[in-house]
Structure 1
Amino acid sequence: MLEFEGSSLFRHHIVCSLLTNKPVRISGIHDEDEPQGIKLAEANFLKFIDRVTSGSRIECTDNNTTLTFYPGMILGGTFSHEVPSSRCVTYIAEVAVLMLPFAKFDTKLTLLGSTQSDLDLSVDTLRTVTTRWLQLFGVDCSVRIIRRGVHPGGGGAIDLHCKAVRKLNSADATTRGRVRRIRGISFGCRVSADLSQRAATAAKGVLLNLLPDVYVVTDLDNSKRYNGESSSGYGVVLVAETTSKHCVISQETTAMPHEPPEVVGKRAAELLLDQVFEGGCVDAHHQMLVLLLMALSPDEVSTVRFAQFTTGLVSAVMLLEAYFGVSCATKEDPSLAGSELPSTTLITCVGSNTLNVWKKSG
């Protein structure tokens, strides 16, 4: 049995345990917090795991500060799940897409809750960027936004469709290319349409100084179909596409209370430009996802160009070695555009050849 301490990688430990069929014990879960133990969102995630799998066993001891997980089989199927208002629906979705390709059935999942929050990815990033990385590794996954709902009121809903596969594909994303266009969404929920429009205009005002092909649409959801507690908010999601098919960079931001929309749009544009400046093929939000997909791929070489390492990427390297027995080779690669630009890192690994036991070969 594998043993770890701390709650920083709680969801990923459970998912990796399922994918490798290795039991895991996690101790010291929020043992310095008050109250101690597993939080509401983490308990909700365990409930989701219990519904999507068969035969999994969960044991909590020491005032819920120690969790022992015995993995079962991933089933998938059609069902809905409500996420607590403390987190966004992507809290479940961004790790679910790692294991659902290895399920017995194709999955049609409806997630209910907030579609935007400061702690998690927005559903727009999940729909436009995360699914592209999954497609690169051979996973057919799509996201449809049914209605929006911002933190903390919730009330949003998305449909996540993910097809089961026999195995993933290896990937080679080393060519960065030049940014050819920028697309974006200025979303709003139960706010004036003027706020979203002004934020979009401010973002375009920064980006059009550097690139002519910039298009930011507004998506306003003021529907009253949800009868529960509602919250209002707005934000901007921007995606930079390059001349390389295997490079997509995204950044997002949400409005703080009493913050002018021009500041929100300008901040989103500057965050995107900072991410592009770093030079990797993968943005900071998706480093851990891509590295774990590399570990799940066939026993072939996968190489991806990463920018500055995030704590998530360093944590993913540890997960690869502990669960999959996969080691990564890193090589620092100076920028071709000049020494004044930051260098990038090429990460190469041979996948663990994880197979979906429910799918026949051929």
Structure 2
Amino acid sequence: MSQIVDIDGSLLEGGGQILRIALSLSCLKRIPVRIFNIRAGRSKPGLMAQHLKGVELVRDLSNAKVVGAHLGSTEISFYPGKINGGSFNAFIRTAGSISLLLQVALPCAIFAKSDTMLRLGGGTNAEMAPQVDYMTEVFRPILEKFGATFEFDLIRRGYFPKGNGEVVVNVKPITQLKSIQLTDPGNITSITGWSFVAGTLPHFLSNKMAESAQKYLSKTCRNINIESYKEDHKVAPDNCSGIILVAHTNTDCILGSDALGKRSETSEETGERAAESLLKSIENKACVDDHSQDQIIVYMALASGPSSVRVGEITLHTKTAIFVAETLAKVKFNIESLQDGANIIHCTGS
């Protein structure tokens, strides 16, 4: 095994993302890592419940040895073993994001020796993270362009502050990821979406979110279909509201956005906020939105051959992902700045 590599967790984004990407690539490249200054710039530095559970999950996936993995820890050393596949459980005892658990585990499961089943618990629809619906409706189709995918079963919704959501993810391993070329944004052909309320919130609030989003986007696309519904109480007993939007282009690009309802804003404002985020990606003529922009970096680094993806502004999360990928995967990313303000991310994978 290679000599341990030090990674300063306070650099760039300075949050949980450095930890997640470093752990994934450590497992896949069989490179031990020491990650220090974990979440140093946050109001509560160190590992919180969802970060610790992510460490434990990839530890189990890769038969790794970990030193320093406990709540509040600002430094861990991670020594990966072989990724064999199998069944694994990871339940965050808070509303911490299930999507972020999936982000750290999925690259490992894709290259496991055998099929992998992940039973994940926590928040299905959480702030500061993609909603699980975004992961299935937007990110999964993008992942399939690389030649990988996953099956997803929603058992129970989990919202802030209780969490208690549960999903089951099944992954069949592959031997190699394909490189991708996504440089032509094309034209928007349709926009679909799902506007929901849960718990004791009245159904009409979901209608208001959907109508607001549709009105905001109507000048961009005529073919808009946003479903409004109230979650089944058995699946989603607690209160929450939100909306997920997905835009498709005639060049097979997929852009998404989402928003959760807040007490400080009306349902109409929530719908408009999600629509505004989607419209920004459309106006930037991006082939992937900001949420997927940083997530695909790991897959570009691991793919066979050169990949190129057109995006809008390079986000801080993407810069962070590139930094870690170049450090551990020994690849080089190049950013091509275009005259219209967009950028193309280039990488020849390992």
TM-score (norm 2): 0.90
2:239 alignment partner in structure 1 = 232
2:286 alignment partner in structure 1 = 280
Alignment of 1:16-35 (within 5 A): 16-30=25-39
Could you tell me how far 1:214 is from its partner in structure 2? 0.1
| Letter matched to residue 222 of structure 2 | P
Could you give the per-residue CA deviations for residues 71-117 of structure 1, whole angstroms, max 9, x where no partner exists?
11112223432123241211201222222110111122222221111
Report the 3-state secondary structure (helix = DSSP H, G, I; strand = E; otherwise coil) of the residue aligned with 2:219.
coil
Q: Tell me, in whole angstroms, the C-alpha distance in 1 between the residues paired with 2:129 and 2:315.
A: 15
Q: Label 1:115 to 1:61 Cα distance change in 2 as closer, same or farther (>3 A).
A: closer
Q: 1:5 aligns with which of 2, 5, 8?
A: 8
Could you tell me how far 1:31 is from its partner in structure 2? 5.4
Q: 1:214 aligns with which of 224, 230, 238?
A: 224
Would you say 1:64 and 2:70 are equivalent positions? no
Q: Tell me, in whole angstroms, the C-alpha distance in 2 between the residues paired with 1:278 and 1:117.
A: 26
| Letter matched to residue 189 of structure 1 | A
Q: Tell me, in whole angstroms, the C-alpha distance in 2 between the residues paired with 1:31 and 1:263.
A: 33
Q: Tell me, in whole angstroms, the C-alpha distance in 2 between the residues paired with 1:171 and 1:302.
A: 5
Q: Tell me, in whole angstroms, the C-alpha distance in 2 between the residues paired with 1:345 and 1:292.
A: 18
Q: 2:92 aligns with which of 83, 93, 102?
A: 83
Report the 3-state secondary structure (helix = DSSP H, G, I; strand = E; otherwise coil) of the residue aligned with 2:148.
coil
Could you give the per-residue CA deviations for residues 197-253 of structure 1, whole angstroms, max 9, x where no partner exists?
221122112222332100011242242468xxx6411011111111111x2111111
1:359 alignment partner in structure 2 = none
Would you say 1:312 and 2:317 are equivalent positions? yes
| Letter matched to residue 199 of structure 1 | M
Report the 3-state secondary structure (helix = DSSP H, G, I; strand = E; otherwise coil) of the residue aligned with 1:73.
coil
| Letter matched to residue 135 of structure 2 | L
Residues 243, 258 of structure 2: 8 Å contact kept: yes
| Letter matched to residue 238 of structure 1 | L
Q: Label 1:149 to 1:220 Cα distance change in 2 as closer, same or farther (>3 A).
A: farther
1:144 alignment partner in structure 2 = 153
Q: Label 1:50 to 1:330 Cα distance change in 2 as closer, same or farther (>3 A).
A: closer
Q: Tell me, in whole angstroms, the C-alpha distance in 1 between the residues paired with 2:190 and 2:241.
A: 23
Could you tell me how far 1:124 is from its partner in structure 2? 0.7
Residues 67, 77 of structure 2: 8 Å contact kept: yes
2:296 alignment partner in structure 1 = 290
Q: Tell me, in whole angstroms, the C-alpha distance in 2 between the residues paired with 1:99 and 1:250.
A: 25
Q: 1:328 aligns with which of 312, 327, 333?
A: 333
Would you say 1:302 and 2:307 are equivalent positions? yes
Residues 148, 189 of structure 1: 8 Å contact kept: no
| Letter matched to residue 165 of structure 2 | G
Could you give the per-residue CA deviations for residues 132-170 of structure 1, whole angstroms, max 9, x where no partner exists?
111000002232323322111113222212210011111
Could you tell me how far 1:123 is from its partner in structure 2? 0.7
Q: Tell me, in whole angstroms, the C-alpha distance in 1 between the residues paired with 2:177 and 2:22.
A: 20
Q: Tell me, in whole angstroms, the C-alpha distance in 1 between the residues paired with 2:306 and 2:126.
A: 36
2:270 alignment partner in structure 1 = 264
Could you tell me how far 1:187 is from its partner in structure 2? 2.2
Residues 88, 151 of structure 1: 8 Å contact kept: no
Q: Label 1:148 to 1:218 Cα distance change in 2 as closer, same or farther (>3 A).
A: farther
Q: Which runs of 5+ in 2 are unaligned?
A: none
Question: Rg: which structure is higher?
Answer: 1
Q: Tell me, in whole angstroms, the C-alpha distance in 2 between the residues paired with 1:3 and 1:141.
A: 32
Residues 149, 189 of structure 1: 8 Å contact kept: no
Structure 1 runs, 4 residues or longer, greater than 6 Å off:
32-35
Q: Tell me, in whole angstroms, the C-alpha distance in 2 between the residues paired with 1:156 and 1:287.
A: 26
Q: Which runs of 5+ in 1 are unaligned?
A: 336-342, 353-362
Q: Tell me, in whole angstroms, the C-alpha distance in 2 between the residues paired with 1:51 and 1:186.
A: 36
Q: Tell me, in whole angstroms, the C-alpha distance in 2 between the residues paired with 1:58 and 1:285.
A: 29
Q: Tell me, in whole angstroms, the C-alpha distance in 2 between the residues paired with 1:293 and 1:30.
A: 24
2:83 alignment partner in structure 1 = 74
Q: Percent identity?
A: 27
Could you give the per-residue CA deviations for residues 174-215 of structure 1, whole angstroms, max 9, x where no partner exists?
111001110111122212211112211221122223321000
Q: 1:253 aligns with which of 249, 259, 262?
A: 259
Report the 3-state secondary structure (helix = DSSP H, G, I; strand = E; otherwise coil) of the residue aligned with 1:176.
coil
Moved more, 112-121 or 200-209: 200-209
Moved more, 16-25 or 93-102: 93-102
Report the 3-state secondary structure (helix = DSSP H, G, I; strand = E; otherwise coil) of the residue aligned with 1:140.
coil
TM-score (norm 1): 0.87
Q: Label 1:243 to 1:297 Cα distance change in 2 as closer, same or farther (>3 A).
A: same
Q: 2:207 aligns with which of 180, 197, 201?
A: 197
Q: Tell me, in whole angstroms, the C-alpha distance in 2 between the residues paired with 1:193 and 1:83.
A: 29
Q: Label 1:320 to 1:35 Cα distance change in 2 as closer, same or farther (>3 A).
A: closer
